[in-house]
Structure 1
């Protein structure tokens, strides 16, 4: 059923979300916590097509008339034109429509007549703010010793800076790119007055012995192309390569058959399978993992990939969609063969992924960086 949350007094911002789940929920919750004087109306994250078709009618009947509203914010799942037509009192408001994705290019499973209405309603995408959590207490030893520290922690603790120097001695490192730790007799990580000293031999031994841990933290739907991911893992199995895998993400009504088909042959490799009920559990798995993989055919930001990088994972993404805008060349693959080759290399040398510091500045997408723009949008009633 619908959820609503209204502030006492005179709310100035109306937040509407027809699909209150996943990244949609994350954004609304973030705005609700940081923008004063909001009224929030949402619908559960079920039956996406019905939400897109009928939420305007529903909200037109459930959102009360309020003369203090100045700004209306919604995701593009809502047909804003229909809502304003049904509720003329909302026409005067400044409207901020957030485009999570472009429905015109949504991949289809079967060639048939398509419903283009969703695409006509939403054709652009903008930056997405992420509240990166402090995961320092969840990180394993090999990630803590290479994680940058400072006397003063940033608000979101979300800047992963580049460390060390470029290794030119190994073909795999040249292929993967990025900056590696410069290892001496000991590795030191200093945070304020505390210094952690870990013998290199212990770290290298642990990093090399444990199998590579691959995580796939995406919705179990066909647009995330799980077939490519699982087929790649099965090829690694055929080559007798050792690895662990965690397959996370939400499931909905129609789960692609590949999940049930791949689970049996991969059973001995699986560490986690399915949606994790708490955010802390989810973050712990990301912190424990070494490599995060995207095989998506439809992606316009990729919160899960950036969260995994924030937790110290080495990213592998398609050289397509939004990824080249965020991830440097060394983290991109163009073909299934390239993805398989990269994972083969890292399975044979998991320490390379564990010592690598991803050259992705997640702070660019943090709430700390973007909050001024969002607050300006939602606290001013001028266009």
Structure 2
């Protein structure tokens, strides 16, 4: 089977998903087209033009048995510019949708990304979402947006989208479950030079936090939680991991200033093995995100042996039991303070993610993708 995979804004999570999908079905003949994850407004509006009239034009005009596109792909425009692909069965995978993003004060407000989500959803034959939260917020958001328009709004748009929508999470690699990342002689050699320099003893609660250092990942909420722990005199250390940017929220700088003696690892950990060892040697993985559609980082940490603590919102109630979710900053502080009293107990709660490991969920992917042919 000849499959064309289109990743129009090839961010890390999209890249991870597409590589896993291609590797899962080596018997299929894959062609992958990607565009770099930068210049967001131009990328999502211009990807169809870049491909249809650029170097990929002849590739698109080949005969395909199946097209799989990420939701950033302007599928309706692409089918108009390349009529040869109009009749090819097409799956759209939604890692996220533009209706459930928190807005930042300096972000340019436009409804165009949301309209493009609607157009692409209508143009696809099967719509796959990584969580029910993602699916629901797109449909509800589309309904709210369409009600704002003054006239000529057709009926049944959201019903059409809903009728061809299914939930199928991004798989976790089998290697996460089979490799052992515990080192008996593990030590914190990769710790931040300006941070905690003492011995990491068993009576200290070790918290890991890992995400892009951007406004939607809740740096303000993290700062409040850390201040609350300090006020309660909780003995804790934190790994503040992830990729930083020039425009990263000021709270990340404040955390490094106020909590330098509580910081172990800071910044992006290049080594995959070392990152997973860091998780394995932490007690808790804390999420403070305001926007999460599946949360692969938390899932990966849970598989590594961390106890996840996540907000009681967004996609998290689908994946985590009540005792591992917090309702507000004070609740998070109370839970962490309570867990710190028995920090030698490594795991206080766990989640079984074997059900979405690639080896198990592969059959479901195959069934849904092949049913279109």
Q: TM-score range by the shorter chain?
A: 0.7 to 0.9
Instruction: Give the whole-Å Cα distance in 1 for the aligned partners of 2:312 and 2:361.
Output: 26
Partner of 1:43 in structure 2? 35
Q: Is the 8 A contact 2:183 2:277 kept in 1?
A: no
Instruction: Give the whole-Å Cα distance in 2 for the aligned partners of 1:344 and 1:240.
Output: 9
1:339 aligns with one of 309, 322, 332 = 332
1:25 and 2:15 aligned = yes
2:86 aligns with one of 80, 88, 91 = 91
Matched position secondary structure for 2:317: helix
Is the deviation greater in 270-279 or in 368-377? 368-377
Matched position secondary structure for 1:273: strand
**Residue correspondence of structure 1 range 97-112 to structure 2 within 5 A:** 97-110=92-105
Partner of 2:173 in structure 1? 131
Q: How many residues align?
A: 307
Deviations along 1:233-278, whole A, 9 cap, x unmatched? 1222233322111112223452111111210121122111111223
Structure with the larger RCO, 1 or 2 (CA within 8 Å, 6+ apart):
1
**Residue correspondence of structure 1 range 299-338 to structure 2 within 5 A:** 299-338=292-331
Deviations along 1:103-139, whole A, 9 cap, x unmatched? 1121112298731222233375432222142465212
Is the deviation greater in 99-108 or in 319-328? 99-108
* Distance verdict in 2 for CA 1:16–1:100, change over 3 Å: same
Partner of 2:361 in structure 1? 370
Instruction: Give the whole-Å Cα distance in 2 for the aligned partners of 1:49 and 1:101.
Output: 16
Q: Is the 8 A contact 1:207 1:350 kept in 2?
A: no
**Residue correspondence of structure 1 range 62-211 to structure 2 within 5 A:** 62-63=55-56, 64-110=59-105, 114-122=109-117, 124-125=134-135, 126=167, 127-132=169-174, 133-134=176-177, 136-139=179-182, 209-211=202-204
Kindly state the Cα deviation for residue 66 of structure 1 after the two structures are TM-superposed.
Answer: 4.6
* Distance verdict in 2 for CA 1:267–1:227, change over 3 Å: same
Instruction: Give the whole-Å Cα distance in 1 for the aligned partners of 2:363 and 2:271.
Output: 29
* Distance verdict in 2 for CA 1:208–1:136, change over 3 Å: farther
Q: Is the 8 A contact 1:312 1:357 kept in 2?
A: no
* Distance verdict in 2 for CA 1:278–1:113, change over 3 Å: closer
- Structure 1 residue runs without a partner (length 5+): 1-10, 142-205
Instruction: Give the whole-Å Cα distance in 2 for the aligned partners of 1:329 and 1:238.
Output: 26
Matched position secondary structure for 1:93: coil
Kindly state the Cα deviation for residue 338 of structure 1 after the two structures are TM-superposed.
Answer: 0.2
What TM-score do you get using the length of structure 1 for normalisation?
A: 0.74
Matched position secondary structure for 2:73: coil
Deviations along 1:151-185, whole A, 9 cap, x unmatched? xxxxxxxxxxxxxxxxxxxxxxxxxxxxxxxxxxx
Instruction: Give the whole-Å Cα distance in 1 for the aligned partners of 2:200 and 2:307.
Output: 14
Matched position secondary structure for 2:258: coil
* Distance verdict in 2 for CA 1:220–1:111, change over 3 Å: closer
Q: Is the 8 A contact 1:135 1:283 kept in 2?
A: no
What TM-score do you get using the length of structure 2 for normalisation?
A: 0.76
